[in-house]
Amino acid sequence: MTGKLTTAEVQARLANLNQQAGGAWRVEDDKLVREFRFKGFAEAFGFMAEVALHAEKADHHPEWQNVYNRVAVQLVTHDAGGITEKDFALAMRMESAAAHRSK
């Protein structure tokens, strides 16, 4: 199993992720968090459907809340008690799933 990353490891990966994501990700309560905003509900839910299929395959699942066109996500590896490489991998996957949908 992937281990919990140290604060320094998280900060280095966060900086790298935020180069793709325009600074949208942050760490809050030991979770990797971001809010996505889309054109409407169909785009938001399409994003969630795509990410859900990937999450199930990877056996790594997001915490998230959807209200109309917004999807708020919090990524953490419960088994490890903190943020791991799996959370950064899922965050990158979310970036590509969001990139091809109308904002």
* Residue numbers at the binding site for ligand H2B (CB under 6 A): 59-61, 77-79
Strands 63-67 and 26-28: unpaired
Which residue number, 30 or 79, has a Cβ lying nearer to ligand H2B?
79
Which residue number, 24 or 55, has a Cβ lying nearer to ligand H2B?
55
Question: Smallest gap, in angstroms, from Cβ of residue 27 to ligand H2B?
Answer: 15
In whole angstroms, what is the distance from residue 35 CA to residue 57 CA? 23
In whole angstroms, what is the distance from residue 57 CA to residue 68 CA? 26
Task: Return the closest-CA partner of residue 28 out of 90, 94, 91, 76.
Answer: 76
Which residue number, 35 or 79, has a Cβ lying nearer to ligand H2B?
79
Element (H, E) at 35: strand 31-37
